[in-house]
Structure 1
Amino acid sequence: MPAAPVEPTSRLRVVMGEEELLRSRAVSAVRTAVLARHEEAEVHELQAAGLPVGELADVLAPSLFGGHRLVVVSGVHECAAALADALIGYAKDPDPDLTLVIVHFGGKRNEALVKAFTAAGAAVDECLKITSAGDRGAFVRNEVRSAGGRITADAVVALVDAIGADLRQLSAAATQLVSDFGGTVDADAVARFHQGQAEVSGFTVAERVLLGDRAGSIEMLRWALERGVAHVLIADAIADGVRTAARVAALSSTNPGELARVLKMPPWKVKKAQAQSRGWSIDGLQQAIGVAADLNADVKGAAASADYALERAVRRIVTIRAETGRGRPARTGR
């Protein structure tokens, strides 16, 4: 569970674990807490992989203009030894006007860095992978409660069975159910929710997008919106599809069984991702991941129109495939 909100005197923070949604929320909670106490704080977000030690030193150096700073270094499990040593050295004498958060995706790599931070008194947010159906059920209940509703035990089981292990999808569905049905969410509400989205879902849109089908993507998107599929569900499906395609494309093996073991995915999902990643380049998929990340923020309030943000992102991702991919789009149109 995430640690308590950062105190004004806290200077070091570790966010650690395999669960991406929980990591994201933990970092957001720290950012919110820091900015609540220091409205004009500078915020620096860095990726550890390939980060020069000199660039880190510049960001961590005392500011000439004073004021608090928040520095988030993500993916420290992948950082080079020199960068890890620099972070460990900083933790021994941290700046009182700076909150440093390191984000580790779990595992043994650079574990000494995490130990050094905890030994220096860093607060720790543990974001462990949720693997059991019982834990996913507890997650759903908490999401519904946070949205202001209640959910029956049979509805929890129905929702987890329908959606599976993806926490973002579970969270989005739980929030949408409370919005649609209010009060108590029961199994009938879950069934009606999924029946209403049976023909066109976010995953239908994502599939058309990844295949480079511009006209089909826009058509499916508009049908999904017309049928009331939540903006966040469509955005999450697109992001999941792009990330999965990128993970599959990044590995040299084409054996679905081997990829399923390495990526810890069901074989059917690997085969689907293989089909969807054909015609994409790694560079194109990386660009598409960036578009999907921006879309996630847009549909949660950053954009004036979530409908427009979705259509713009769909068109942009299809264009990226056409401009950077290894093959032509499946179908084009305006």
Structure 2
Amino acid sequence: MAASRTRRPAARSSAIPQLSWRAPQPAPIVLVSGPEEICAERAGAALRDYLKAEDPSVEVSDVRADAYAPGTLLAVTSPSLFGEPRLVRVAGVERCTDEFLSEALAYLEHPQEGATVVLRHTGASVRGKKLLEAIRAGTGGGVEVACPAVRRDAERYDFAAGEFAAARRRAAPAALRALTAAFADDLTELAAACQQLIADVDGDITEQIVQRYYGGRVETSAFTVADTAIAGRYGDALAALRHALDTGADPVPMVAAIASKLRTMAKVGGTRESTGALAARLGMKDWQVERARRDLAGWNGDQLGIAIQAAARADAEVKGASRDPVFALERLVTVIATRSPYGA
């Protein structure tokens, strides 16, 4: 990571239509914004397919805004002899040259008829801010397709659910949870796993099918280690932990995943609200609340407090406060599985 902190554009209101990356529509200008690259790729492919379905003769051009040759934008958007529609995909707008910025702003004032210009801005910098503001103000008759970061478990769950829904396939909630646990670190891999199941499996996607395809990954995930420890299965938890470490799992995200489950249990514990009301108040999914309530069986407040303190200590130790991050993880799993201080 760079030593200097990268400034990010502040969220702003927009006067143009906001479209889902799963269902983009062509327009003279299509701003594809946000850091999630797999979603941006899907949006771009959907736009291409849409235009090709309308007219197979559509001309597709790719332009780099960060390595821009003056005059390119006008050249690729201008009508050809036979007047075919044009799709121009512009990448790297967050690193655009001064020449591109100047010509793109001028283009917004007079978009070419029959041309769809897709501008990809990851939000990694404020470069191109003036261009984004002009598009969002409505200059050029554009639309925006947002591709926000997918980081939380609930967001990955929704992403996977959307993959199957888009293919008109049913996936059991347990199957979706297993998939998101197995591919918690890479949204592109999660998308590929969903697409493989859609292509290979007839009928509904069940947890058993996910286990058959991706059992190795599921078994060694941090959430599996956490689940077995929280359930009090000490031997199974240590075995799962060692298996995960032997297959390359990083202690830092493992501690983070375990701590996340403990914090969710703490949020849910001690309340009698309905599942739906509590989920809405906490910004969680119903299934997350239900799972946390099941996890709390057999726990009391003191035990949960000890486990959370152990997770905080382990988090510091795996990030450099200890020379032995593996021991720190094993001690954390021991505290959780035995529901008592280490060595007690």
TM-score (norm 1): 0.54
> Which of 145, 153, 164 does residue 173 from structure 2 map onto?
153
1:20 maps onto 2:40 in alignment:
no
Q: Whose radius of gyration is greater, 1 or 2?
A: 2
> Which of 106, 122, 127 does residue 109 from structure 1 map onto?
127
By how many angstroms is 1:86 displaced? 0.5
1:140-179 to 2 correspondences below 5 Å: 140-179=160-199
Task: Report the aligned-residue RMSD.
Answer: 2.4
1:139 maps onto 2:156 in alignment:
no
1:26-105 to 2 correspondences below 5 Å: 26-105=43-122
Residue 17 of structure 1 contacts residue 105 of structure 1 at CA under 8 Å; is this kept in 2?
Answer: yes
1:87 is paired with a residue whose SS is: helix
Please, which moves more after superposition, 185-194 or 134-143?
185-194
Residue 3 of structure 1 contacts residue 123 of structure 1 at CA under 8 Å; is this kept in 2?
Answer: no
Residue 76 of structure 1 contacts residue 110 of structure 1 at CA under 8 Å; is this kept in 2?
Answer: yes
Deviations 1:61-82 (A, max 9, x none): 3434422211111111111122
User: Could you tell me which amino acid in structure 1 is paired with residue 148 of structure 2?
Assistant: L
User: Could you tell me which amino acid in structure 2 is paired with residue 141 of structure 1?
Assistant: A
Residue 35 of structure 1 contacts residue 41 of structure 1 at CA under 8 Å; is this kept in 2?
Answer: yes
How far apart are the structure 2 equivalents of 1:184 and 1:37?
A: 33
How far apart are the structure 2 equivalents of 1:3 and 1:176?
A: 18
1:184 is paired with a residue whose SS is: coil
How far apart are the structure 2 equivalents of 1:195 and 1:93?
A: 55
Deviations 1:39-78 (A, max 9, x none): 2121111111111122333223343442221111111111
User: Could you tell me which amino acid in structure 2 is paired with residue 28 of structure 1?
Assistant: A
Could you tell me the percent identity over the aligned residues? 31
1:115-264 to 2 correspondences below 5 Å: 115-118=133-136, 119-120=138-139, 121-195=141-215
How far apart are the structure 1 equivalents of 2:185 and 2:198?
A: 20
Please, which moves more after superposition, 29-38 or 172-181?
172-181
How far apart are the structure 2 equivalents of 1:37 and 1:152?
A: 36
How far apart are the structure 2 equivalents of 1:73 and 1:44?
A: 9
Query: How many residues are aligned here?
Result: 198
How far apart are the structure 2 equivalents of 1:116 and 1:97?
A: 21
TM-score (norm 2): 0.53
How far apart are the structure 2 equivalents of 1:194 and 1:81?
A: 47
How far apart are the structure 1 equivalents of 2:183 and 2:70?
A: 42
Residue 22 of structure 2 contacts residue 42 of structure 2 at CA under 8 Å; is this kept in 1?
Answer: no
1:274-289 to 2 correspondences below 5 Å: none
1:43 is paired with a residue whose SS is: strand
2:105 is paired with a residue whose SS is: helix
User: Could you tell me which amino acid in structure 2 is paired with residue 93 of structure 1?
Assistant: H
How far apart are the structure 2 equivalents of 1:149 and 1:72?
A: 31
- Number of the residue aligned with 2:25: 6
How far apart are the structure 2 equivalents of 1:18 and 1:187?
A: 30
Task: Give the unaligned 5+ runs of structure 1.
Answer: 199-265, 268-334
1:49 is paired with a residue whose SS is: helix
Residue 3 of structure 1 contacts residue 124 of structure 1 at CA under 8 Å; is this kept in 2?
Answer: no
By how many angstroms is 1:96 displaced? 1.2
Residue 23 of structure 2 contacts residue 46 of structure 2 at CA under 8 Å; is this kept in 1?
Answer: no
2:177 is paired with a residue whose SS is: helix
